[in-house]
């Protein structure tokens, strides 16, 4: 087999874009940096699939190339998560032990693998995703060691040395939101709640952390909530 052309296109990037506030901030920063961004969203059977419509609308407004990929066929293999199974979504902060039920088995390795394949086909230099420091306690696939190994695996698995990058890996959601507010971003365009109802629940780990970020930045979350968890 002949080795393929390994030259990559500078500033071309694939961004995994869930439609949530972290990936929303990342996508906007990449665009502001002048990168040619190809956004990739996944329907993996998450109950909060409302985020995918947010992702579609944001990419349309930014004129960013966007694909929503349906991978729900693999859902029968990924049992045990409250995000995909008929299991109640836990309430409270991410650091609490019960939040482990929100882990979808091997999710980020699967999504990153698909995104890397897409990047190779586009000759993009990197795949970006919004893992951050607040995810480390609960999500193994958002920790520095995973990101480093996944980036190395990407280079080994392909002729093209596509990197995996997580710019917020050592930042909190508070710091990420501060970045976005400085850019004047409208977070009413995002969806964070793990429950896919009309309004955000205000009690799941994702909502609690989001509300905390707005409070610490002396800002008001433009998203409507059913209620707000105070403890």
Q: What is the pLDDT of residues 69-85, one digit of tens each?
A: 998 887 777 654 444 44
CATH number assigned to the domain covering 9-216: 3.40.50.620
| 45: region left, alpha or beta (phi > 0 left; psi from -120 to 50 alpha) | left
Q: Name the residue ranges covered by the structural domains of the chain.
A: 9-216
Cβ-based neighbours of 204, under 8 Å, separated by 6 or more: 89, 90, 91, 193, 194, 195
pLDDT at residue 216 greater than cutoff 50: yes
- The pLDDT assigned to 87 comes to 42
Confidence at residue 141, expressed as pLDDT on a 0 to 100 scale: 84
- 94, 135 contact by CB (below 8 A): yes
Average pLDDT of the chain is 86
Which range, of 33-47, 98-112, 128-142, 204-218, averages the lowest pLDDT?
A: 98-112
Nearest-angstrom CA–CA distance, 78 and 27: 27
Q: Please give the pLDDT value at position 82.
A: 40
Q: Compute the 3-state secondary structure of the chain and give helix, strand, coil in percent, each to the nearest 5.
A: 40, 15, 45
Structure tokens given for 165: 């990058």
Spatial distance between the Cα atoms of 220 and 187, rounded to a whole number of angstroms:
10
118/204: higher pLDDT = 118
Provide the 10 A C-beta neighbour count for residue 99.
Answer: 23
What would the pLDDT profile of 123-152 be if each residue is shown by its tens digit? 999 999 999 887 656 778 889 999 999 999
Contact 189, 223 (CB under 8 A): no
**Alpha helices (H) along 66-163:** 107-122, 144-157
pLDDT of residue 78: 66
Residue 2 has pLDDT above 50, yes or no: no
Whether residue 180 has pLDDT greater than 90: yes
As a whole number of angstroms, the distance between CA 141 and CA 78 comes to 15
| Other CB atoms within 10 A of residue 126 CB | 22
What's the pTM?
Answer: 0.87
How close are the terminal C-alpha atoms of the chain, in Å? Answer: 60
pLDDT in tens, 17-58: 999 999 999 999 999 999 999 999 999 877 667 889 999 999
Structural contact between residues 125 and 160, judged by C-beta atoms closer than 8 angstroms: no
Record the tokens describing residue 181, joined without a space: 């507010």
* % of the chain surpassing 70 pLDDT: 82
Q: What is the pLDDT of residue 89?
A: 46
- DSSP strands (E only) in 59-162: 65-70, 124-128
- Residue pair 153/114 in contact (Cβ under 8 Å)? The answer is no
């Amino acid at each position: 087999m002949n080795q393929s052309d390994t030259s990559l296109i500078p500033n071309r990037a694939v961004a995994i874009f869930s439609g949530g506030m972290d990936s929303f901030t990342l996508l906007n920063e990449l665009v502001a940096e002048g990168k040619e961004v190809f956004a990739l969203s996944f329907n993996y059977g998450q109950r909060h699939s409302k985020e995918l419509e947010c992702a579609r609308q944001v990419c349309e407004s930014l004129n960013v190339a966007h694909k929503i990929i349906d991978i729900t066929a693999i859902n029968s293999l990924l049992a045990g998560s409250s995000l995909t199974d008929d299991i109640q979504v836990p309430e409270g902060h991410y650091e609490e032990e019960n939040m482990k039920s929100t882990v979808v088995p091997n999710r980020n390795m699967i999504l990153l693998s698909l995104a890397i394949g897409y990047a190779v086909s586009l000759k993009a230099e990197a795949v970006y995703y919004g893992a951050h420091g607040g995810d480390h306690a609960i999500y193994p696939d958002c920790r520095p060691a995973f990101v480093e190994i996944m980036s190395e695996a990407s280079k080994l698995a392909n002729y093209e040395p596509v990197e995996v990058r997580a710019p917020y890996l050592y930042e909190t959601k508070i710091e990420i939101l501060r970045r976005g507010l400085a850019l004047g971003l409208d977070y009413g365009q995002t969806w964070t709640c793990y429950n896919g109802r009309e309004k955000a629940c205000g009690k799941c780990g994702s909502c609690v952390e989001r509300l905390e970020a707005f409070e610490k930045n002396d800002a008001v979350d433009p998203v409507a909530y059913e209620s707000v968890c105070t403890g």
